[in-house]
């Protein structure tokens, strides 16, 4: 954490940042995509750089310092967002969400020990950096997976200007995990060990103040209500019938709403795409940790057992977001198990909530899909406890129809925990993996959770985790058998006209 917060007007306690600060850190987020940096702040960044003061951009912060970023990953033509041009680099789409080791290959105010390795993680969608003449590489990351595929390679992940005072890095957690980076900054700023101790004392107070707020600049404080905290850490697993159902929106909303109520919430991701966690983390003010990602197959960071052990020490309420469909990857016998969210659900023995999107097949089709999905999961031994219908058009849903839908799920032993209407944002601000405005996304998510979900019942359904173990081979065979035994009961002789 920096010692002071620079406001969007470029000022620190009323003073211009260029006059008040020795160093500025521009963090990750969606600064480029959302174009949220105001002209007054731009002027202060440029003044600091021109004065030889230190400027550090991390991930999206690096893109702010660059010449331009092509954010058109889903577009047939480039969509350019121009940066400040302080670093002679450009960016194109390249997805990487690995924990990585990187080698220091050049000197700057924060990299002095050339040839040594540092650790951190990547969490970016636009990470293909094209360096030009005025940019000097200082970090090279050794990544394992890019664009959802295993493809080991070395990529430039850090650069500096020729003067060495403006630095950009793609890697997160460099300042947290690597004493050599801190030592280089201390040397450059001529900070003594005693001064560093004093800085950290100030930072701890600032950190506590920031973490007490839900979201960014909302003035919404987390309740100080310890009476409702569970005695042991409890878990809820949120799965979906497929990508695009809105798991991330629902998880973010629940996380923010529970944070407001005073829960110490943690969020975990099945698989390696930790970008999905970022909206919730913005709300609950928690960092991505080395256990934030549960390994399935070749994707993810840490084994399930290790994730549960470490996460349980830090939080009292843990939300686990599944990957894609709950069953995606289950039939892949060429990778290490678990290879699907369904296997994680069985191993955790955690209460599982199914999110189903209503935007493509209407609420009628979504109900059918959710009933079938929940039924298959329950027959496989997964503790399906609830269903959330998301992205629904609810204008014609009468109380009678809602009661009918609830009864249908109750007959299966599953609770309908809410029907969330489709939320519209301008542009592409609702797509976490592509282009997102985190503040607006988070506010809408919390508002929807509080208004349309039974949060009290959700907290009651969460339970502690017992032992984390399962016979994955037996589970796979049971799944295969369920497919071969599946049949549709039909009237003898087929369907006649009178059967409609």
Domains and CATH numbers, the chain: 11-195 (3.40.50.880), 226-484 (3.40.50.300)
Give the three-class secondary structure for 265: strand
Q: Report the 10 Å Cβ neighbour count for 313.
A: 8
| Integer CA distances (angstroms), 266 to 257, 259, 275, 282, 314, in order | 13, 10, 15, 12, 8
> Contact at 8 Å (CB) between 319 and 265?
yes
Q: Along the 500 residues of the chain, how does pLDDT read in single tens digits?
A: 467 889 889 999 999 999 999 999 999 887 776 677 889 999 999 999 999 999 999 999 999 999 999 988 767 788 888 999 999 999 999 999 999 999 999 999 999 999 999 999 999 999 999 999 999 999 999 999 999 899 999 999 999 999 999 999 999 999 999 999 999 999 999 999 999 999 999 999 988 888 899 987 788 888 876 556 667 899 999 999 988 899 999 999 999 999 999 999 999 999 999 999 999 999 999 999 999 999 999 999 999 999 999 999 999 999 999 999 999 999 999 999 999 999 999 999 999 999 999 998 999 999 999 999 999 999 999 999 999 999 998 888 899 999 999 999 999 999 999 999 988 765 544 555 555 678 888 899 999 999 999 999 999 999 998 777 789 999 999 999 988 876 544 445 444 444 43
> Contact at 8 Å (CB) between 336 and 367?
no
Q: Which two three-digit tokens encode residue 33? A: 């995509």
Please give the helix or strand (H or E) that residue 55 lies within, else none: strand 54-58
Query: pTM score, two decimals?
Result: 0.90
Q: How far apart are CA 104 and CA 106, in angstroms?
A: 6
| Integer CA distances (angstroms), 103 to 68, 90, 173, in order | 25, 21, 15
Give the burial class of 179: count Cβ atoms within 10 A of its Cβ; 0-12 exposed, 13-18 middle, 19 or more buried.
exposed
Report the pLDDT value the prediction gives residue 463, as an integer from 0 to 100: 95
Q: Which two three-digit tokens encode residue 108? A: 């700057």
């Amino acid at each position: 954490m920096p010692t002071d917060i620079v406001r969007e007007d470029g000022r620190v306690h009323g003073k211009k940042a260029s006059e008040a600060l020795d160093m500025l850190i521009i963090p990750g987020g969606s600064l480029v995509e959302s174009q949220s940096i105001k002209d007054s702040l731009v002027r202060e960044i440029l003044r600091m750089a021109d004065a030889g003061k230190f400027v550090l951009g991390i991930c999206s912060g690096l893109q702010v310092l660059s010449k331009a970023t092509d954010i058109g990953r889903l577009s047939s033509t480039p969509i350019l967002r121009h940066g400040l041009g302080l670093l002679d680099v450009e960016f194109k789409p390249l997805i990487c969400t690995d924990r990585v080791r990187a080698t220091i290959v050049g000197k700057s105010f924060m990299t002095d020990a050339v040839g040594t390795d540092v650790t951190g993680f990547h969490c970016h969608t636009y990470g293909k950096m094209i360096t030009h003449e005025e940019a000097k590489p200082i970090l090279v990351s050794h990544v394992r997976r890019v664009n959802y595929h295993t493809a080991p390679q070395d990529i430039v992940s850090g650069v500096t200007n020729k003067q060495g005072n403006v630095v950009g890095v793609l890697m997160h957690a460099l300042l947290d995990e690597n004493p050599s980076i801190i030592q280089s900054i201390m040397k450059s700023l001529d900070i003594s060990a005693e001064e560093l101790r004093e800085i950290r004392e100030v930072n701890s107070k600032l950190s506590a103040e920031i973490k007490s707020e839900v979201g960014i600049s909302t003035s919404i404080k987390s309740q100080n209500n310890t009476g409702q905290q569970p005695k042991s850490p409890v878990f809820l697993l949120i799965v979906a019938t497929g990508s695009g159902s809105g798991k991330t929106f629902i998880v973010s909303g629940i996380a923010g709403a529970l944070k407001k109520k005073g829960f110490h919430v943690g969020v975990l991701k099945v698989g390696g795409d930790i970008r999905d966690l970022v909206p919730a983390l913005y709300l609950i003010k928690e960092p991505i940790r080395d256990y934030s990602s549960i390994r399935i197959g070749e994707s993810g960071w840490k084994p399930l057992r290790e994730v549960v052990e470490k996460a349980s020490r830090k939080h009292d309420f843990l939300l686990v977001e599944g990957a894609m469909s709950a069953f995606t990857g289950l039939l892949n016998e060429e990778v290490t198990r678990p290879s699907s969210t369904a296997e994680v659900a069985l191993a955790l023995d955690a209460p599982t909530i199914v999110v189903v999107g209503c935007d493509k097949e209407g609420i009628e089709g979504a109900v059918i899909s959710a009933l079938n999905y929940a039924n298959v999961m329950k027959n496989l031994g997964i503790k399906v406890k609830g269903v959330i219908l998301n992205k629904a058009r609810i204008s014609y849903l009468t109380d009678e129809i809602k009661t009918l839908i609830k009864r249908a799920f109750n007959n299966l032993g599953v609770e309908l925990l809410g029907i969330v209407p489709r939320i519209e944002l301008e542009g592409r601000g609702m797509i976490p993996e592509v282009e997102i405005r985190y503040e607006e996304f988070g506010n809408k998510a919390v508002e929807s959770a509080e208004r349309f979900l039974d949060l009290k019942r959700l907290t009651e359904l969460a339970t502690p985790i017992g032992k984390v173990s399962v016979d994955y081979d037996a589970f796979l065979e049971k799944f295969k058998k369920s497919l071969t035994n599946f049949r549709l009961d039909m009237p003898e002789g087929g369907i006649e006209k009178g059967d409609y």
